[in-house]
Amino acid sequence: MSRLETGPNARRGLLNLDAATLKGVLYTFGSAACISVTFIASKQAMQEMSPLAFSPLWFAAASGWGAGAYVLRNGLNFPPGLLRLARPLLWMGLFNGLANLLLFSAINLGDPTLAAFFSRSETVYSVLLGALLLGERMLGYQWAGAALAVAGAGVMTFKGGRVVGLMLAITLVSNFFLSLSSLIAKRHVTAVPPLLLSTIRTVLMTLMIGAVALAFGEVTRPGLAAGLWIIGGAFFGPFLSYVLFYKGLHTLDLGKGAVIRSTQPLFVALYGLLLFGTVISAQQFLGGLLMLAGVSLMLWQKNRSRK
């Protein structure tokens, strides 16, 4: 059931949201800011290595961050019934592994900002999956806001060329797998703590992609610069961003969480400006404004309960 149907007496704040929903929104915006580091750090590291050689190291570093944080917080204590969730968690790891391997291949083709923009197809997939399989509901104006946010992403991504078309095709497939993994996470996020769920995800991806890299002879040791990008970037990208995202899914619908994370290209553009002096175009700026307006409209809740 959607969080839209909170009672009229609930305490509300920014965008007229109740406290629990607002917390989920802030977690998800934080997730978008962190996951955007992936597009910068992976591009820098892959100047020295192939996507297949890079990927297992990237997720191994994230697994180290996650395992260390979990043990420091909980020791070696795990929630009861974890083994009963082995099958869906394995599927989550498989879908994530395929999605990220394709994503890094797309990033390696060209501008990481473009790959981030194209990755917003995940938003469409997640909204549809949430509505069709989870029964998530939004009011008419909120559907309009979601559509406006996706349209803003389209404005930001509009470019031409054969390489750009190939990047688009790869990221479309990548994000379908990614949305399936998010669907699984949404269904089980109350049974598995977000920190543990995120760590299980990266461990499974490390094993899966590492086996493929080993089979193709792509296992290699990175240089100092690439290693630092991997260790630092993995903290924000595959580790912290997904902990925050899964925390957000406790109080947000899958579709709404995906739309909020569609602001990710704005953070990529900001990081590109701060680190490399890359300035976005007027078209991309307009797209960013449309995205923010759409997300705000989707999240806004009227001062009435539904009959």
153-195 pLDDT per residue, tens: 667 656 655 556 788 788 889 989 989 999 999 988 888 899 9
Task: At 134, give phi and psi (nearest 5°).
Answer: -110, -5
pLDDT at position 5 = 45
State the pLDDT confidence band at 4, using cuts at 50, 70 and 90: very low
Q: 84-87 long-range CB contacts below 8 Å, 24 or more apart? A: 85/188, 85/191, 85/192
- Each residue of 221-244: pLDDT tens digit? 999 999 999 999 999 999 999 999
In 3D space, the residue among 170, 168, 142, 131 whose CA is nearest the CA of residue 153 turns out to be 168
H helices of the chain, in order, are: 19-35, 37-45, 51-74, 86-109, 112-118, 121-133, 140-157, 162-188, 194-215, 224-234, 241-248, 254-261, 264-276, 282-299
Residue 303 has pLDDT above 70, yes or no: no
The C-alpha atoms of residue 195 and residue 100 are separated, in whole angstroms, by: 19
pLDDT at position 305 = 43
Average pLDDT score over the chain? 82
The C-alpha atoms of residue 196 and residue 61 are separated, in whole angstroms, by: 15
Q: Report percent pLDDT > 70 for the chain.
A: 85
The C-alpha atoms of residue 63 and residue 234 are separated, in whole angstroms, by: 9
- Contact between 8 and 292 (Cβ < 8 Å): no
- Contact between 58 and 208 (Cβ < 8 Å): no
State the pLDDT confidence band at 59, using cuts at 50, 70 and 90: very high
The C-alpha atoms of residue 139 and residue 120 are separated, in whole angstroms, by: 22
Q: Where along the chain do its domains lie? A: 15-73+81-299
pLDDT at position 232 = 96
CA distances from 143 to 136, 180, 194, 296 (A): 12, 21, 28, 12
pTM here is 0.79
